[in-house]
Amino acid sequence: MKRFKLVLRMIALGLALGLAVTGCGSKQSADQSQDKQGESGSVTVNLRLGHDQTTDTPYQVAAEDFANAVAEKTNGKVKIEIYPGATLGDELSMLDSLRLGDLDFSIAAAPNAASHIPELGFFGVGYLFKDYDHFRKAMTDQTIIDRVANLAAEKNLGFKFLGFLTTGARSLYSIKPIRTPDDMKGVKMRVMASPVEAKVWGTLGSLPVSIPFGEVYSALQTGVAAAAENTPLVYVANKHQEVAPYLDLTEHQYMVSTLWVSDKTWEKLPEDVRKAVVAAAKEMTDTQIQQTQKDEAKLLEEAGSKGVKVIRDVDKQAFIDKVLSLQDEIAKEMKLDDILARIRELGQ
């Protein structure tokens, strides 16, 4: 009997050890997993990137370009899985996930990231860039990239700036056509969560209302807002023309969005992978902006077939005249005179 009990105890101990080993073997951090490949012992690092746009928008193009470039530059050792459509939360939630180490990479519009780095709100001031060529030069300029990276690093946020991307040239869209600043008076205007955005649209006479992107459709549908602004690609991809059919081509802002990496992820990456990630981000910026320009031009040609009424006779100069002085004013307030000067220099 004693021998039988001893055998039972040994079996139970064996099962317990087996379960413990299995549990340890299956445990992975929320932001990273590693899978051995073949007999060589090489390891693939799997990372996650989140964004809040649909799969047919420039965010997805940027995410795929970045993921592909990282995979290529690391010879397949680093794979990035993309989670679009706010699967992992809205932009602010994903930035918090980066800080906690629950997510590796995320994309955020500069006005939203301005909740953590107020200086990023400067890019929402309006008419900073003359055209796509000027915009691309600025977004790939190392002086500007380093300045933004340092601003973020100084705040010790738990995530690191990698680079810029875009969703295109933002214009107004509305339930009634808008051609001049006078048409903006008293209009309930959806803006992003940025004081600069509110100031710009308040200067133009509208009534700014901060509304999360995912709620814009219903806000326009129910009258909470009568106008919003975004790029044509995002506007159509999210079917906002169904509730606000007029696309008023103010082209007031080339949308600055940002790519971030969690500090906790960054600390785990070896130096050669870090260099590959930085190089991939800059490469993505250049190619993604050029592709967005092409996609936007094509969409505007086909807009009528998608139920969009394009208002091309917008008095753009009248809008410029209203907000131009804000560039110097806000740059001075935020101590970004050097950034404004560099942007203007690149546009000459």
pLDDT per position as a tens digit, 182-207: 999 999 999 987 888 899 999 999 99
More confident residue, 193 or 346: 346
What's the N-to-C CA distance of the chain in angstroms? Answer: 94
More confident residue, 346 or 30: 346
Q: Tell me the average pLDDT across 293-310.
A: 94
Q: Tell me the average pLDDT across 218-238.
A: 95
CATH class of 32-168+256-296: alpha beta
Angstrom distance (rounded) from CA 84 to CA 90 = 10
Could you identify the residue written with the tokens 């560099």? 342
Over residues 94-121, the pLDDT tens digits come to: 999 999 999 999 999 998 899 999 999 9
Q: What is the mean pLDDT of the chain?
A: 88
pTM of the model: 0.82
Confidence band, pLDDT 50/70/90 cuts, at residue 38: very low
Please give the pLDDT value at position 214: 86
Q: Is 2.30.38.10 the CATH classification of the domain at 169-254+300-346?
A: no
Angstrom distance (rounded) from CA 109 to CA 120 = 9
Angstrom distance (rounded) from CA 41 to CA 135 = 45
Residues of the chain with CATH 3.40.190.170: 32-168+256-296, 169-254+300-346
β-strand 169-174 against 246-254: which pairing, if any?
antiparallel
Sign of CA dihedral 327, 332, 333, 336: positive
| CA 163-166-168 angle, 5° bins | 165
Please give the pLDDT value at position 195: 87
Over residues 121-146, the pLDDT tens digits come to: 999 899 999 999 999 999 999 999 99
Confidence band, pLDDT 50/70/90 cuts, at residue 42: low
Q: What are phi and psi of 309, to 5 degrees?
A: -105, 100
| CA 236-237-240 angle, 5° bins | 50
Angstrom distance (rounded) from CA 84 to CA 81 = 10
Confidence band, pLDDT 50/70/90 cuts, at residue 10: very low
Please give the pLDDT value at position 162: 98
Confidence band, pLDDT 50/70/90 cuts, at residue 8: very low
pLDDT surpassing 90 at residue 31: no
Confidence band, pLDDT 50/70/90 cuts, at residue 19: very low
Closest by CA position to 242, among listed 272, 209, 215, 220: 220
How far is residue 277 CA from its own chain's centroid? Answer: 17
